[in-house]
Chain A
Amino acid sequence: MFRSALRALALLGAMAAGPAVAPALAQDHAHEAEELPHTHFHFAGLFGTVDRSAAQRGFQVYKEVCSACHSMRLLSYRNLLELGLSDAEVRAIAATVTVNDGPNDEGQMFERPGRLSDHFRSPFANDQAARAALNGALPPDLSVITKAREEGPQYVHALLTGYSDPPPGMTMGGGMNYNRYFPGNQIAMTPPLREEGQVEYADGTKATVEQMAFDVVNFLQWAAEPEMEARKRMGVKWVLFLVILGGLAYATKRKIWANVPH
């Protein structure tokens, strides 16, 4: 719905703008893999907002599962406050990591517990360390992952739930896993969400694989576009204002031109 609504909107714009942009919208970056199944997300649509409980659960999935391999270096712990976690909760989360700081007055580097202002701690010191630990594969930073893939949220959701045995006759590379939605179908990431109850949700939601995938996508989408709610709210105001202004401008124009024979 959201996508198609957006496309329709953009097409409208494109029509107003002449045929020039239409082809660009049709531009494809074909995934060689299967077509994506469609999941409805609360953040979709012109008025869609962040489903805070899903996104909070999603953060838990990220923290307990994905963060073993994936960094989210563009986020800071303080950002979690916008997700609806309490100040005390966020401080506690930040304090669980150890941060290198310094130099202090004696010129020494020292370690301290994380603070609100610290960026999310990365699991590996650098790309080489990640590759060394993961069979040569490099897990991408997830801060903007849903913006960095075509149909990002749908794609990530499909990817996380798209693992299965390879079709007969397909030879897999060493350490590779079959995934229906990954381009080329061979992905180095082992299925991160494999069984029900992998995380234990505090709100009692049943942690099925589907549920965890859904939740973590809600979180990742929020992380990629933390401005989304403010942006859409402002957009609605602007468009309403402009439509009214347009009516006034048009009426004024008619009035002014009324006495010109043309």
Chain B
Amino acid sequence: MSIGLHNSAFKNPVIRWVDSRLPIFSMMQNEYGSFPTPKNFNYFWNFGALAMINLMIMIATGIFLAMHYTPHVTMAFDSVERIMRDVNYGWLFRYVHANGASMFFIVVYIHIWRGMYYGSYKAPRELLWMIGVVIFLLMMATAFMGYVLPWGQMSFWGATVITNLFSAFPVVGDSIVTLLWGGFSVDNPTLNRFFSLHYLLPFVIFGVVFLHVAALHITGSNNPLGIDPKGPQDTVPFHPYYTAKDSVGMVVYFIVFASLVFFAPNLLGDPANYIPANPLVTPTHIVPEWYFLPYYAILRAVPDKLGGVLLMFGSILVWFILPWLDTSPVRSMRFRPIAKWFLLLWGIAFGTLMYCGGKPPEGIYVVLSRVATLYYFAWFLVILPVLGRLERPLPLPESIAKPVLRGGGPLPAGAMTKPMEKA
């Protein structure tokens, strides 16, 4: 590498001066301006950008909440209500933050599912996918600790149930729990360390997101056909094409977000969290936030505590090895006539688990949870590896540009007639 100034293409003298010494403008231009992007994205490709925006919203609102929040067991609940009542627009910040967590998970779940359907985890994007799983785990930890902060009944009892899970591990279990609690029960030290970590983790997420995007810009984006772009006829520059398309998705996202915040701010929350935490009164049903319900169902589907905990963690850890479990040479499910249905069924199993997680662990719900758990793992560990070898994929189009020009490649009819993409 030669020493000296970067050869900047910018004309504006000030930008040029900076860019020659620190080429951040060139970088932005390369990564978000002229970056060649497959031209056949559908709206599922909006969700990465949405997740990024969501993270920024969480950090921005969180910082303002933290200015008024008091992490002490005797004051936390009242301080949150004080934010709602006496801080200027405090209710707005709090409701955006609380519903923002739900929106974040909605967005990220769709983002992950998109990756599964279009095979975005496959070579060469394995590491990109794995970094994504790390982000998801960090998000879960952040959201879990955030939910403890308002110190309502569900905060307290959710924290108690979830931290207690670690005691299932032999030998080290109890020490882990003591460490999480900072004592011998969920109490003030727990609240303090959770607040500290809840403030820290989003910035860690930010760093990992940076790695995620950096890795993406090495491999380039996947696309609904799952085939690599063959040349300039297959791509468009990110700006203005995808900045424009992302803007459409962003507005729709904001409409959903605003509807929740302004018209149904407590719809996705549990009323019990408006009852101040009380260690002496156990709520009848301890349920986590909706986005954790599938894992909660898996946990309770297993009669053995340690087994349940392992399976619960395993249900996400298995995503790490997904790139190697899937043995099919084809990425997009559009060309996998059998696997497509099995994946759909997996989605239904996930939904079933979410449903059962919110129900008491008895009768039919346990049976359903067990069947769904079994299928959840069977899809990853049995169906995907085996099916990849047996299934005969449909013929792939020659290139991205080809099937798009009407009458091109041997594309199944359904793949072309997505009205949304026609725009």
Q: Which of B262-278 contact A (CB under 8 A)?
A: 262-268, 270-272, 274-276
Q: Is A152's CB within 8 Å of the partner chain B? A: yes
Contact of B263 among A46, A245, A249, A253 (CB under 8 A): A46
Is B259's beta carbon under 8 Å from chain A? yes
Q: A140: CB under 8 A from chain B?
A: yes
Decide yes or no whether B39 CB sits under 8 A from chain A: yes
B272 touching A253 by the CB < 8 A rule? Answer: no
Chain A residue at smallest Cβ distance from B102? A21
Contact assessment for B110 and A17 in the assembled complex, using a CB-CB cutoff below 8 Å: yes
Question: With contacts A17-B110, A149-B271 known, is A23 near B260, CB below 8 A?
Answer: no
Contact of B351 among A13, A19, A73, A262 (CB under 8 A): A19
Given A18-B109, A23-B354, is A256 in contact with B244 using a C-beta cutoff of 8 Å? yes
Cβ of B379 within 8 Å of any chain A Cβ, yes or no, is: no
A23–B358 contact, CB under 8 A? yes
Query: Given A17-B256, A256-B244, do A23 and B262 touch, yes or no (CB 8 Å)?
Result: no
* Candidate in B102, B255, B268, B404 with the most chain A CB atoms within 10 angstroms: B255
> Given the complex, which residues of A lie within 8 Å of B355, measured CB to CB?
23, 26
Nearest Cβ on chain A to B291's Cβ, whole angstroms? 8
CB contact list, A137-153 vs B, under 8 A: 140-141, 143-144, 147-150, 152
Q: Does B423 contact A (CB under 8 A)?
A: yes
Q: Are B354 and A20 in contact (CB under 8 A)?
A: yes
Chain A, residue nearest B256 (CB): A13
B91 nearest in chain A by CB position:
A227
B171 contacts chain A at the CB level, 8 A cutoff: no
0/1 per residue, A220-261, Cβ < 8 Å to B?
000000110001101110110011011001101110110011
Q: A29-B285, A261-B404, A262-B39 are in contact. Are A20 and B351 (CB under 8 A)?
A: yes
Query: B84 at interface (Cβ–Cβ under 8 A)?
Result: yes
Docked-complex contact B271 and A234, CB < 8 angstroms: no
Task: Give the number of chain B interface residues (Cβ < 8 Å).
Answer: 62
Write the nearest CB–CB distance from A25 to chain B, whole angstroms. 7
> Is the CB of B78 closer than 8 A to any CB of chain A?
yes
Question: Number of A-B pairs whose CB atoms are under 8 Å?
Answer: 156
Neighbouring B residues of A1 by C-beta, 8 Å? none
Min distance, Cβ B261 to any Cβ of chain A, angstroms? 7
A109 at interface, CB cutoff 8 A: no
Contact A246 B255 (CB under 8 A): yes
Kindly list chain B residues whose C-beta atoms are within 8 Å of the C-beta of A18. 106, 109-110, 113
A148 vs B269: C-alpha distance when bound (angstroms)? 10
Give CA–CA (A19, B244) in the complex, Å: 27
A235 touching B258 by the CB < 8 A rule? yes
Question: Is A9 close to B, CB under 8 A?
Answer: yes
Which of B82, B240, B267, B359 has most chain A Cβ within 10 Å? Answer: B267
Q: Does B40 make an interface contact (CB < 8 A)?
A: yes
| Option from A9, A21, A254 in Cβ contact (under 8 Å) with B290 | A21
User: A249 near B244 (CB under 8 angstroms)?
Assistant: yes
Q: B358 — nearest CB in chain A belongs to which residue?
A: A27
Q: Residue of B at shortest CB range from A47?
A: B263
| CB atoms of A17 and B244 under 8 A apart | no
Counting CB contacts under 8 A, is B287 at the interface?
A: yes
By a CB distance below 8 angstroms, the chain A residues around B187 are none
What CA separation (Å) do A243 and B272 show in the bound complex? Answer: 34
Which residues of A in the span 10-55 have a Cβ within 8 Å of any Cβ on B?
10, 12-13, 16-29, 46
Tell yes or no: B247 within 8 A of A by CB: yes
- Indicate whether A147 sits within 8 Å of B244 (C-beta atoms), given known contacts A6-B267, A23-B358: no
A143 touches B81 (CB 8 A): yes
Query: Whole-angstrom distance from the CB of B327 to the nearest CB of chain A?
Result: 27
Known: A140-B275, A262-B404. A13 touches B241 (CB 8 A): no
**Min C-beta distance of B365 to chain A, whole Å:** 12
Cβ-neighbour of A252 out of B40, B247, B293 (below 8 A): B247
Q: Is A97 an interface residue (CB 8 A)?
A: no
Query: Is B6's CB within 8 Å of the partner chain A?
Result: no
Q: Is A92 positioned at the interface, with any CB of B under 8 Å from its CB?
A: no
Query: How many Å lie between the Cα of A10 and that of B106 in the bound state?
Result: 13
User: Assuming A235-B262, A257-B423, A262-B404, is B252 touching A16 (CB within 8 A)?
Assistant: yes
Q: How far is the CB of A158 from chain B (nearest CB, A)?
A: 15
Chain A residues, Cβ within 8 Å of B275: 140, 148
Q: Which residues of B contact A9 (CB under 8 A)?
A: 259, 263-264
> For the complex, is B85 an interface residue (Cβ under 8 Å from A)?
yes
B3 within 8 Å of A (CB atoms): no
Between A and B, 15 residue pairs with Cβ closer than 8 Å are A10-B259, A13-B259, A18-B109, A21-B102, A23-B290, A25-B267, A29-B270, A147-B266, A148-B275, A226-B85, A227-B84, A250-B423, A253-B247, A257-B245, A260-B236
With A23-B358, A26-B355, A252-B247 known, 4 other A-B pairs at CB within 8 A are A18-B110, A46-B263, A144-B81, A257-B241
Please report A residues at the B interface, Cβ cutoff 8 Å.
6-7, 9-10, 12-13, 16-29, 46, 73-74, 79, 140-141, 143-144, 147-150, 152, 183, 226-227, 231-232, 234-236, 238-239, 242-243, 245-246, 249-250, 252-254, 256-257, 260-262
Binding site for A on B (CB under 8 A): 39-40, 78, 81-82, 84-85, 91-92, 95, 102, 105-106, 109-110, 113, 236, 240-241, 244-245, 247-248, 250-252, 254-256, 258-268, 270-272, 274-276, 284-285, 287, 290, 293, 347, 351, 354-355, 358-359, 401, 404-405, 421, 423
